């Protein structure tokens, strides 16, 4: 799978989806309703990329690294719109993109290789305890595996559950090494404690 390219419809959002994570979405724009219909029929995924703002704070381009999403569930929202639960699979880098009639962006993406699972080193033990506490607080509403002893899933789940801005979430998504991701998380937690 390393260095393989594929075409993937892209869904720019103001947030980040991580591998192994989940994201509830309300779908109402015609281009995305059609995208979801096509993905449901073919069993294929779509790409979630974080929208970036320009220097003036206006929405601009999207991030170059995103996560493939597949549809986990369909439902109708309280306001009558289509709701889906998007499940995060693998990360990708956008190499090129085109805009189809109707406005849907389709990217040529390169799949990024993911590091193997590894145990959490002792210096990150506090982060394992934090994940256990966060999952306990969320309870049954948190539907994904949250293994606090696996450095890869520990980093993804903390990045997902902690209240970070979109730019920090994107930085964590783009950090390839799970131990470097844990180091970022630990330093952010320590700096928050000092403030």
Nearest 5°: phi and psi at 27?
-110, 125
For residue range 53-95, list pLDDT tens digits in order. 655 555 556 789 999 999 999 999 899 999 999 999 999 999 9
Residue 35 tokens, joined: 């995208």
* Residue 187: partners with Cβ closer than 8 Å, 6 or more residues away: none
Candidates 3.30.70, 1.10.3470, 1.10.4060, 3.40.390; CATH matching 122-194: 1.10.4060
Domains of the chain by residue range? 5-111, 122-194
* Residue 20: partners with Cβ closer than 8 Å, 6 or more residues away: 88, 144, 145, 153, 156, 157
What global pTM score does this model have? 0.90
5-111 falls under which CATH superfamily? LON domain-like (2.30.130.40)
User: CB 108: neighbour CB atoms within 10 A?
Assistant: 15
Q: For the chain, percent helix, then strand, then coil, each to nearest 5?
A: 35, 35, 30
């Amino acid at each position: 799978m390393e260095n393989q390219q594929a075409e993937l419809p892209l869904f720019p959002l103001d947030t980040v989806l991580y591998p192994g994570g989940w994201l509830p979405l309300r779908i109402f724009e015609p281009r995305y309703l059609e995208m979801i219909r096509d993905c449901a029929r073919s069993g294929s995924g779509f790409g979630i990329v974080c929208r970036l703002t320009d220097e003036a704070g206006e929405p601009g381009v999207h991030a170059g690294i995103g996560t493939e999403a597949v549809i986990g569930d369909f439902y109708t929202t309280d306001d009558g719109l289509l709701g889906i639960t998007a499940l995060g699979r693998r990360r990708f880098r956008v190499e090129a993109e085109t805009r189809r009639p109707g406005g849907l962006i389709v990217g040529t993406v390169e799949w990024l290789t993911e590091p193997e699972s590894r145990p959490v080193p002792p210096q990150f033990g506090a982060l394992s305890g934090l994940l256990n506490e966060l999952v306990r607080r969320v309870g049954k509403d948190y539907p994904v595996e949250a293994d606090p002893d696996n450095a890869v899933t520990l980093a993804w789940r903390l990045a997902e559950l902690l209240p970070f801005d979109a730019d920090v979430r994107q930085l964590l998504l783009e950090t390839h090494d799970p131990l470097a991701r844990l180091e970022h998380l630990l330093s952010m937690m320590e700096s928050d404690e000092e403030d």
